[in-house]
Amino acid sequence: METNTDIATQPVPLWEVGATLGEGVLWDAPAGQVWFVDIKGRRLHRCAADGSDQRSWDAPGQVSFVVRAIDGGLVVSLEDGLYRFIEDSGEFVPFVKVEADVDGNRFNDGHVDAQGRLWFGSMDDSEAERTGALYRFDGKNVVTMDDGYIITNGPAVSPDGRTLYHTDTLDKRVYAFDLAEDGSLSNKRLFAEITDGGWPDGMAVDAEGHVWIAVFRGWRIERRDPSGRKVGEVRFPCSNITKLAFAGDDLRTVYATSARKGLSAEELAQQPLAGALFTFRAGTAGLPHHVLRLQE
């Protein structure tokens, strides 16, 4: 297996924001900005690529991801569905209701594929019941694609657009599905199982088709080849790594979120960088972030 130095530089903190549950990191290439959320802190954060120009907004609920739409606006999730975020005013405007009648659930990770479809999952906020589901939003309709999850995580798509990866965090399993051109899923199968500490969280796919998986309580991001075999890892100075995004002109700059959630006072003292936004350079380029298509 490759060592850390073979696939990446050492992660360094870019913004010591102290997020309770940092997540949903997005590279907004046209603006040269990094967006991410603090789900439990109910905050939306943005900074420049070098960590400057930091801004934060309070959210009216647990905001779990942020994506750019084709009209230039931002779309985020709150507990009862999708919202438009108006950057100038800081407003969160209801957009599409999803699971508005489901008590105890919230949304978690989200990803826009090359066709502009948004894939996102819900979960039991108490992390006990299998009430979570995987959804697809095509800009007009929301469709349930899979269910039976306690914590959904990490939708990501292969470079050829034919495989969708999705995580069952508490079962420590990452699944692969065949993804058809029309957005339908089939042939659900086990892609990888985390067996050496921690729980699989958010992920991203690089240009070679390798899947990079953030491992909560694992101190690392793993790199796995298209067969699911672990071929490398990047170690962090804190344990709760939650999500990553490839960025920059060459898509080799990586931004990764982390969390303070679940750490004891002693652990927090030992991990002063927990909750920070990190960055490092990868040996392989990632895939570009896509924008959400919208339909009348």
Active site residues: 201
Residue in the structure block whose two tokens are 């895939």: 287
Contact by Cβ (8 Å): 76, 121: no
Alpha helices in the chain (DSSP H): 4-7, 265-270
How far apart CA 48 and CA 84 sit, in angstroms, is: 21
What is the C-alpha to C-alpha distance for residues 229 and 231, in angstroms, rounded to an integer? Answer: 6
Query: Are 130 and 148 a contacting pair, CB within 8 Å?
Result: yes
- In this structure, what DSSP letter does residue 210 have? P
CB 249 within 8 A of CB 31: no
The rounded distance, in Å, linking the Cα atoms of 272 and 287 is: 31
The residues, ordered by sequence, that sit 6+ positions from 109 with a Cβ below 8 Å of its Cβ are 23, 24, 64, 65, 120, 121, 152, 153, 154, 155, 167, 202, 243
Place of tokens 């657009």: 161
Cα–Cα distance for residue pair 38/120, rounded to 1 Å: 17
CA angle 244, 33, 179 (to 5 degrees): 45
Label residue 196 exposed, middle or buried (CB < 10 Å: 0-12, 13-18, 19+): exposed
Q: In whole angstroms, what is the distance from residue 36 CA to residue 19 CA? A: 10
